[in-house]
Structure 1
Amino acid sequence: MLVTVGVWVSQAAAHAEPVGPLYRLVDTAAQRLATAEPVAAAKWLHGGPITDPSRAEAVLDAVAADSATHGVDQGYVRRVFADQIDATEGIQYTRFGQWKLEPATAPTAAPDLSQSRTQIDGFNRAMVEEIAQQWDWLHGPDCATVLTDATDDVAAARDLDPLYRHALSAATRSYCPRS
């Protein structure tokens, strides 16, 4: 499954041309969401819970610390990443539900969870950097419009299905605090 995610990322990136200031941030959020597939598979096969409060808190602490080095409000970044974590868990719950209803579709192999977490950590750092670079857009009067455009463009470039489109909207819902 990890290979599938890598192909998905590479193919979409080859076709995607950033068209707005929030495109890279939203695109990285979509790539991070794609890690839900191998993570769900690993948790399914090893009986792990979908929610992992200690891992979530470690992620939130890490992105808050990273945001401080970029001079970005830590509370804002924690809210953004809490939404991202919730959206990722939502995808995992959906997959678990599908696999319970259709056991033949359940994964029989999964990459080691540490591989996915390494990818996630890289996406997190890239997202914090993009948040810092696009701070004025994220807090400007046109944020909602620019975010909608970026979300639509990423969804089209990556050919997101309804689940991932919904998850991407949930993951980005706190990007524009003024709207």
Structure 2
Amino acid sequence: MRLTNSGRRMLITAFATIALATATSGALAAPGPAQPTASAPGTVASAHDAGTARHVVPVHGHGAQLRPLAELSARRLLTADLVAAAKWGTESPIDDPERERQVLKAVARQAREVGADPKATVGIFRDQIEANKLVQRALHRRWQADPSQAPTEPTDLAAVRAEINRVNGGLVRAIATSEPARTAPLCDVVLLTAGVRTRQEQALDPVHTLALARSLRSVCAPPVAAGR
């Protein structure tokens, strides 16, 4: 039987609790200094190149399908540090509805091109966007409280967005290849495991950990109806 919405929320809360319990010390509103750098073109896609065929597979196969989603979501979250730095001290707001519309329109088109469900893809990306803004706001609060921690070197927002677009392409393809896992009865449990593993591998701080949980909220979809 598939978990209810309340059950899913409990699992996501468990993910955050487990991750936070093992995270290094640090204030919830104060993520560590920005560390990510833009990867070379094509690097992001490598996380999902070995995706399995779109058919029902055992639970361990579901994990292999969902791990790229967690890993790419974490990589996308790390770009939030660079976006926050680029917007710091400028008139560029964290909330950018026009940019968000462009992203959602682009991923819907890409989803159709690779055979993914555009509606499901857009839903997942709405969570990705909100998670990214969660990190940006936390960083700006930190820098406002302690200006000595604020970035001093300019960051090219256009270059950061180009990297985000590359990650987005990888995520769309990972969504397309993971439909069997995303609609499986144990998706929530397998996704929880993938998320905790990703947090450990990426050494995410508490804020990025909570943002990762937020970014994955819509990954597990209702089971596909028979005969579809």
Compute the displacement of 1:103 (Å): 1.1
Larger radius of gyration: 2
Q: What is the letter of the counterpart of residue 222 of structure 2?
A: R
Are residues 1:113 and 2:144 paired? no
Q: Does 1:59 align with 2:103?
A: yes
2:35 counterpart residue number: 4
Larger relative helix fraction:
1
Q: Aligned-pair distance for 1:71?
A: 1.7
List gaps (5 residues or longer) in structure 2.
Answer: 1-33, 47-62, 224-228
Aligned ranges for residues 130-141 of structure 1 at < 5 Å? 130-141=174-185
Structure 1 counterpart of 2:191: 147
Identity %: 34
CA contact (8 A) 2:70 2:195 kept: yes
Please state if 1:43 is matched with 2:87.
Answer: yes
Contact 2:65 2:177 in 1 (8 A): no
Gaps of 5+ in 1: 14-18
Contact 2:94 2:136 in 1 (8 A): yes
| C-alpha distance 109-47 of structure 1, shift in aligned 2 (>3 A) | farther
Aligned-residue CA RMSD in angstroms?
A: 2.3
Aligned residues between the structures = 171
Counterpart in 2 of 1:178?
Answer: 222
Which whole-Å deviations, capped at 9, do the CAs of 1:50-78 have from their partners, x for residues lacking one?
01100000000000000011121111111
Name which of structure 1's ranges 104-113 and 152-161 shifts more when overlaid on structure 2: 104-113
Q: Kindly report structure 1 stretches of 4+ aligned residues shifted beyond 2 Å.
A: none
Structure 1 residue 71 corresponds to structure 2 residue 115: yes
Is the 8 Å Cα contact of residues 94 and 137 (structure 2) preserved in structure 1? yes
Alignment correspondent of 1:20? 64
What is the aligned partner in structure 2 of residue 164 from structure 1? 208
1:86-145 Cα distance to aligned partner (Å, 9 max, x none): 000011011111111111111111321011000000000000001111111011112111
